[in-house]
Amino acid sequence: MGEKPSHACDERGFLSWFFEPDSVAVIGSFREGFFGGYVIVNSLLKAGFKGKVYPVNPAYEQVLGLKVYSSVIEVPSEVDLALIMINARSVMAVAQECAEKGIRALVVISDGFAERDAEGARLQDELVEFARKQRMRIIGPNTAGVVNTANGFNPCPYEAGYYKIKPGPVAICAQTGMVNPQAFPYPTLRAGVSKICDFGNKCDLDECDLLEYLEQDPVTRVISLYLEGIHDGKRFLEIARRVTARKPVLLLKSGRTEAGAKASASHTGSMAADDRVLEAVCSQTGILRLEKFGELFEMPKLFSSQPLPEGNRLGIMTFTGGIGVLAIDEAAKYGLRLAALGPDTRRVLDEIFPGLGTMPVDIGPAMAAVKEAFDRYSEILGGVMEDANVDALFSVLWANPVGSIIGRYVEAYEAVRNRLRKPLVTWVYGPNAATALELRERLEDMGFPVFDKPETAIRALGLASRYKRFKESAQGPRYPA
């Protein structure tokens, strides 16, 4: 069997074969279409993957300018990883050839295994047994595979219409292909992504292996995880405790109800863990539990861009009292309480408009009453952000219909960015969906997370506050007796 060069296997574990291969074999159909080997090869080329790509299929000679080999055995050089997307019944034979070739890592994209029926479960068991004997590792089957933005490795097996993904600090791993490029518009995720992984049926590699790999991954700073079940609770507990001490781990777990767990069993062939046990695991390990699917994509951006809040005193700046009240309600769920501005800040704000220095800072009346009020916006935002009595700020921005005030907000945020010592989360609203989106995108491009609902923004701060408290308690008391 071949040996993976030391840079990968030795230092970072076997998952580097999957995320950092120097050479991959793509075993599938090379007919043009929505999915299959053709799509994988096309995606790899367009994403700028620097490693070697070897298409394999006896029925083809060429695809996208590359020679197609009739078998992995025929590939003239070493192969680090095989991506397999053929009929489930044919996978075993290909796995045997891969073993013969010395390939140590397989992504089995094919479905029709344990998630389908008893015959599929048998095929999966056979495959696992063979791989164990051969010291081969498997991601899948029934997976949409992996992505690594650092080396342009995006072998997405379903046509996504885009190929390059903005590199960034967020790793998204799931027991579903719903996090892979064909399912989610990553160009809209401005925080940027480090790694993506769909575990599929988890016949071999699972969330524990991924967490260990991501713990060591220098690019990944926050991990978003969707699971339907956990194979090895004890190992998960151990690893999660270690990883969360270094990086926040956000977990969405489905199959929380009996009915959901039953459906999960038929979907990926795994049994759902008891939800109460998981709850205990989360509180022991500092894993932050998510509640909605969309949070997998939306929550990490706070952690990837903002400092953690030092305390629980929440500042609110709003154009509308109503949203201030809703935000305070939401904040209470996370132990965040409304900050009171210090006397100096209060004086400055009250001079701009009477009562402006009282939390929540309601800019609406001032903007309607004060001449050239938007000239003062930067001063107000800066004052609140600098106030030592505020640990985190929720900023509500109204985008006017023609977008003419967007520049003033951007200026104000620019000024704040240069001395950011506390998290700032934003919600943008307004009568024109396009200008609201423009403002949102400009702020996100500057590194400020903007959320699509006010409650989500507060929740993000709430999770950050929880994580901060967990880290402090994990480190023990700061002033030992």
Segment 270 to 299, residues that bind its own copies, using CB under 8 A? 292-294
Q: Both tokens of residue 153? A: 């490795």
CB 66 within 8 A of CB 53: yes
Instruction: Tell me whether residue 130 or residue 374 sits nearer to its own copies (CB atom).
Output: 374
Helices 377-386 & 343-352 angle (0-180, nearest 10): 170
- Write each residue from 191 to 220 as x if it is in contact with its own copies (CB under 8 A), else as -, in one continuous string: ------------------------------
Q: How many CB atoms lie within 10 A of CB 373?
A: 18
- As measured in angstroms, the least distance from the Cβ of 238 to its own copies is 26
Report the residue from 254, 305, 312, 378 that binds its own copies according to the rule CB under 8 A: 254
What is the Cα gyration radius of the chain? 25
Q: Both tokens of residue 290? A: 């998510």
Report the residue from 70, 96, 188, 473 that binds its own copies according to the rule CB under 8 A: 188
Sequence-separated (6 or more) residues with CB below 8 Å from residue 410: 439, 442, 443, 446
- As measured in angstroms, the least distance from the Cβ of 188 to its own copies is 6
**Planar angle of CA 303, 419, 297, nearest 5 degrees:** 20
Report the residue from 126, 329, 344, 472 that binds its own copies according to the rule CB under 8 A: 329
Distances (CA, A) of 254 to 167, 267, 275, 441: 28, 12, 9, 31
Stretch that binds its own copies, among 3-11, 51-59, 202-210, 429-437 (CB under 8 A): 429-437
The answer to the question of residue 221 lying near its own copies (CB under 8 A) is: no
Q: How many CB atoms lie within 10 A of CB 429?
A: 15
End-to-end CA distance of the chain: 57
Find the binding residues for its own copies in span 73-112 (CB under 8 A): 111-112
- As measured in angstroms, the least distance from the Cβ of 266 to its own copies is 7
The answer to the question of residue 362 lying near its own copies (CB under 8 A) is: yes
Q: Both tokens of residue 456? A: 């989500």
Instruction: Tell me whether residue 304 or residue 435 sits nearer to its own copies (CB atom).
Output: 435
Instruction: Tell me whether residue 64 or residue 263 sits nearer to its own copies (CB atom).
Output: 263
Pick the closest to residue 393 from 438, 452, 453, 339 (CA basis): 339
Stretch that binds its own copies, among 44-52, 254-262, 375-383, 417-425 (CB under 8 A): 254-262
Q: How many CB atoms lie within 10 A of CB 369?
A: 10
The answer to the question of residue 315 lying near its own copies (CB under 8 A) is: no
Report the residue from 11, 218, 276, 402 that binds its own copies according to the rule CB under 8 A: 402
Ramachandran quadrant class, 195 (left: phi over 0; alpha: psi -120 to 50; beta: rest): beta
- As measured in angstroms, the least distance from the Cβ of 384 to its own copies is 16
Instruction: Tell me whether residue 241 or residue 408 sits nearer to its own copies (CB atom).
Output: 408
Report the residue from 124, 268, 304, 306 that binds its own copies according to the rule CB under 8 A: 268
Distance CA 212, CA 13 (A): 9
* C-alpha count within 13 angstroms, C-beta hemisphere, residue 243: 31
Distance CA 1, CA 133 (A): 13
The answer to the question of residue 340 lying near its own copies (CB under 8 A) is: no
DSSP element (H, E) containing 54: strand 52-56
The answer to the question of residue 339 lying near its own copies (CB under 8 A) is: no
**Planar angle of CA 461, 466, 472, nearest 5 degrees:** 125
Find the binding residues for its own copies in span 40-79 (CB under 8 A): none
Distance CA 447, CA 321 (A): 27
- As measured in angstroms, the least distance from the Cβ of 207 to its own copies is 14
Find the binding residues for its own copies in span 440-479 (CB under 8 A): 452-455
Distance CA 103, CA 322 (A): 60
Find the binding residues for its own copies in span 155-184 (CB under 8 A): 159-162, 174-178, 181-184
- As measured in angstroms, the least distance from the Cβ of 242 to its own copies is 27
The answer to the question of residue 32 lying near its own copies (CB under 8 A) is: no
- As measured in angstroms, the least distance from the Cβ of 456 to its own copies is 9
Q: Which amino acid is at 54?
A: Y
- As measured in angstroms, the least distance from the Cβ of 417 to its own copies is 26
The answer to the question of residue 34 lying near its own copies (CB under 8 A) is: yes
Q: How many CB atoms lie within 10 A of CB 339?
A: 22
Q: How many residues does the chain have?
A: 481
Report the residue from 400, 408, 420, 447 that binds its own copies according to the rule CB under 8 A: 400
Number of residues that bind its own copies (CB under 8 A): 75
Pick the closest to residue 173 from 119, 84, 123, 243 (CA basis): 243
- As measured in angstroms, the least distance from the Cβ of 267 to its own copies is 3
- As measured in angstroms, the least distance from the Cβ of 81 to its own copies is 22
Q: Which amino acid is at 448?
A: F
Instruction: Tell me whether residue 215 or residue 228 sits nearer to its own copies (CB atom).
Output: 228
Find the binding residues for its own copies in span 137-156 (CB under 8 A): none
The answer to the question of residue 428 lying near its own copies (CB under 8 A) is: no
Instruction: Tell me whether residue 12 or residue 289 sits nearer to its own copies (CB atom).
Output: 289
